[in-house]
Structure 1
Amino acid sequence: MLTRWRTASRAQTRRHARVGASVAGGVAALVMGVVGCTSIVGGTPEADTSEAPAYRSSVSASVSASEATSSIRETQRQQSMTTQAVRGACGRFASSSSDAVDVVNKYVEAFNNGGDISGTAGPAVEALNHSADEVVAAINDKLSPDLTDAFNTYAQAARGVATAISAKSPVSVYNARKDELNRARDKGMQLCKAF
């Protein structure tokens, strides 16, 4: 026995209306697609030979433009990779050489002021050799010959100063090698400024 009518909530009513509208729209689109695809056009296919040269020219120009754009993008990509490689190498050079200079200056200060020469000599030698190793490791095929040369010259000069310190060479020998190191470092830093 029915005692009262059940009513649907407004949310259910709206949902049912949306679903119904979506189904009706889908059916209408399907019917239009089927009807639109069933008509056949009569006639004989013919190529418009007067337009063919213009079409070929257009396609050729499009291909050329695409190749040029692709070439430009590749060149830009290569330049970006080169710049990143050089900046990375120059960063390692600047950082390690600066660290070495700081440690060597402590040795020089101890030497000039009668301080702990033996306690500062070891760290100075180690810092110079480490810097030389870092700079040589930073050399890559993206560096210019001049920059590669400058890095190699710096590494040799750093090892030369390290040898002068560890061998307790005369001051004149140390100073000559230190001057070579400073020139090599300055040249490397100057070349790196371009990047």
Structure 2
Amino acid sequence: MMWKQMVRLAGPAAVLSWLVALATFGARLPDYDQMRHPVSLLGAAGVPGADAFNLFGFLLPGALAVLACVGLLLRMPAGTPRALRVAAQMLLLSGLAFAAMGVFPLDAGDIGNRASQVHASLWLFWLVAFCTGAGALWLGARGQRGWRPLARLGLACALWMLCSAFLFNHVMPAAMAQRLAFLAWALWLALAARLLPD
């Protein structure tokens, strides 16, 4: 029972950790503007408090997202369509990629160096893994009435993330578009456990 409760609360806890870290460390860093500066700047090498932000802003939320996806896998009974299992695995990989962004931070002194490129690649992998997982969830939920609400939420969040990553940055600051992508993922994490079939 305690394990089930932990898994159920993992998604909302991930969202809370990320939001508190973003607000707290953003307020502590002089001249940091939430509307203009990327989230990853708070964890960049050479920035005061970067290690703590990477822990509470990337590592912990990512680990909790993985736990939430493990719960998703464990809720799948025998005979679950393969697409649903693949979906859960891709969503789990997305959480791992989010956590890894805290292990491989940006370099504030050189945005174009290898460390910064690895961080950017992990961000892209996080996005692609989630959107692929959401698409597989949508496919697997056909004929599985209990999984449809979760699949609809996942698909809506994935489409919003793709728009944020590739369209919205043309009409708003890139930092805002990035935050909208993160918030779509956060919405999925916050609601996923409530929408799982019994």
TM-score, structure 1 length as denominator? Answer: 0.42
TM-score, structure 2 length as denominator? Answer: 0.41
Larger Cα-atom Rg: 1
Higher relative contact order (CA 8 A, sep 6+): 2
